Structure 1
Amino acid sequence: MATIKDIAKKCRVSTSTVSKALNGYRDIGAEKREEIKKAAVELGYLPPDGRRAIKSKKTYNIGVLFSTLFDYGLRNEYFAHILASFKEKAALKGYDITFIEHNMGKRRMSYLEHCRYRNFDGVFIVCADFAQTQVIELVNSPYPVVTVDQVSNEAISILSDNYDGMKQLTQYIIDCGHKRIAYIHGNISSVTHNRLVGFHNAMKENGLTIPEEYLVEGIYRNSEACEELAKDLLKLPVPPTCIIAPDDYAALGVMNGIRKLGFKVPEDISVAGYDGISVSQAIEPRLTTVKQDTDKIGSEAAKQLVSLIESPMTTSLDSVCLGVELIEGGTVKKIIDWKA
Structure 2
Amino acid sequence: MKGYTRKSRETVKMKDVARLANVSPSTVSRVLSNSSLVAEETRRRVLEAVEILKYRPNRLGRNLRKLTSKIVMVVFPDITNPFFSRIIQAVEEVARERGYYVLLGDTRNDIKLEREFVELGKEKLVDGILLATARIPKEEILSLSLQLPIVLACEYIENYSIPTVSIDNTRAAYEATEYLIRLGHRCIAFINGPKGIILSRDRLKGYRKACEDNNILIEEVLIEEGDFTVDSGYQIMRKFLLMQKRPTAVFAANDEMAVGAIKAIKEYGWQVPRDISVIGFDDIPLCRLVDPELTTISQPTYEIGKQAMTMLLDLIEGKSIINGQVILPHKLVERKSCMELATK
Is the contact between residue 101 and residue 114 of structure 1 (CA under 8 Å) also seen in structure 2? no
Contact 1:160/1:323 (<8 A) preserved: yes
Change (3 A) 1:308 1:218: same
Alignment-derived partner of residue 320 in structure 1: 326
Deviation of 1:118 after TM superposition, in Å, equals 6.4
Structure 1 counterpart of 2:131, one-letter code? I
Question: How many angstroms apart in 1 are the aligned matches of 2:27 and 2:40?
Answer: 8
Q: Is the 8 A contact 1:66 1:128 kept in 2?
A: no
Counterparts in 2 of 1:94 and 1:162: CA distance versus 1, 3 Å: same
User: Which is worse superposed, 240-249 or 85-94?
Assistant: 85-94
TM-superposition CA deviations, 1:291-329 (whole Å, max 9, x none)? 1111111101111111211235x2268321111010111
Return closer, same or farther for 1:190/1:113 CA change in 2, 3 Å cut-off: closer
Distance in 1 between the 2:291 and 2:215 partners?
33
Give, in whole Å, the separation in 1 of the partners of 2:102 and 2:312: 12
Report the equivalent of 2:287.
280
TM-score (norm 1): 0.81
Match of 1:56 among 53, 65, 85: 65
CA distance, structure 1, for counterparts of residue 97 and residue 260 of structure 2: 39
Q: Describe how 1:12-91 pairs up with structure 2 within 5 A.
A: 12=19, 17-21=24-28, 22=30, 24-26=37-39, 29-35=42-48, 42-44=56-58, 56-57=65-66, 58-67=68-77, 72-73=78-79, 75-91=80-96
Instruction: String of CA shifts for 1:116-171, please: whole Å, max 9, x gaps.
Output: 666422111223533499x6487345110111233233631211121121111111
Report Cα offsets for 1:155-189 as digits up to 9, x if no partner.
Answer: 31211121121111111111111010010111122
User: Which residue is 1:106 aligned to?
Assistant: none
Among candidates 328, 338, 341, match of residue 335 of structure 1: 341
- Residue correspondence of structure 1 range 76-225 to structure 2 within 5 A: 76-100=81-105, 110-115=116-121, 119-127=125-133, 129-131=135-137, 136=141, 139-152=144-157, 153=160, 155-188=162-195, 189-220=197-228, 222-225=229-232
Task: Quote the Cα distance in structure 1 between the aligned partners of 2:269 and 2:180.
Answer: 23
Residue 203 of structure 1 deviates from its aligned partner by 1.1
SS of corresponding position for 2:275? coil
Partner Cα distance (1:258, 1:252) in 2: 10
Unaligned runs of 5+ in 1: 47-53, 103-108
Deviations 1:46-69 (A, max 9, x none): 9xxxxxxx96313322122235xx
1:261 to 257, 268, 281: 268
| Alignment partners' CA distance in 1, 2:58 and 2:232 | 44
TM-score calculated relative to the size of structure 2: 0.80
Which deviates further from its counterpart, 30-39 or 198-207? 30-39
SS in 1 for 2:270: coil
Percent of aligned pairs with the same residue? 24
Counterparts of 2:313 and 2:75, CA distance in 1? 16
Q: Structure 1 stretches (4+) deviating beyond 4 angstroms?
A: 13-16, 36-41
**CA shift for structure 1 position 76:** 2.5
- Write the distance in 2 (CA, Å) between the matches of 1:126 and 1:178: 34
State the Cα deviation string for residues 247-293 of structure 1 (Å, max 9, x = none).
Answer: 11111110111111111111111111110111112223211110111
Q: Secondary structure at the match of 2:245?
A: coil
Does the CA contact (< 8 Å) of 1:111 and 1:138 recur in 2? no
Task: Name the structure, 1 or 2, with higher relative contact order (CA <8 Å, separation 6+).
Answer: 1
Give the 3 Å change call, closer, same or farther, for CA 90–270 of structure 1 in structure 2: same
Which of 302, 307, 317 is equivalent to 1:310?
317
CA deviation string 1:219-269 (max 9, x = no partner): 11x111221111111111211100111211111110111111111111111
Give aligned pairs, total.
Answer: 313
Secondary structure of 1:114's counterpart equals helix
**Which of the numbers 233, 242, 256 marks the counterpart of 1:235?**
242
2:324 corresponds to which letter in structure 1? Answer: D
Q: CA deviation at 1:215?
A: 1.1
Counterparts in 2 of 1:41 and 1:298: CA distance versus 1, 3 Å = farther
Alignment gaps of 5+ in structure 2: 1-11, 108-114
Partner of 1:127, secondary structure, is coil
**Cα distance change of structure 1 residues 143 and 30 upon mapping to structure 2, 3 Å threshold:** closer
Contact 1:291 1:325 survives alignment (8 Å)? yes
Helix, strand or coil for the counterpart of 2:340?
Answer: coil
Q: Given the superposition, is the C-alpha separation of residues 154 and 8 from structure 1 closer, same or farther in structure 2, using an over 3 Å criterion?
A: farther
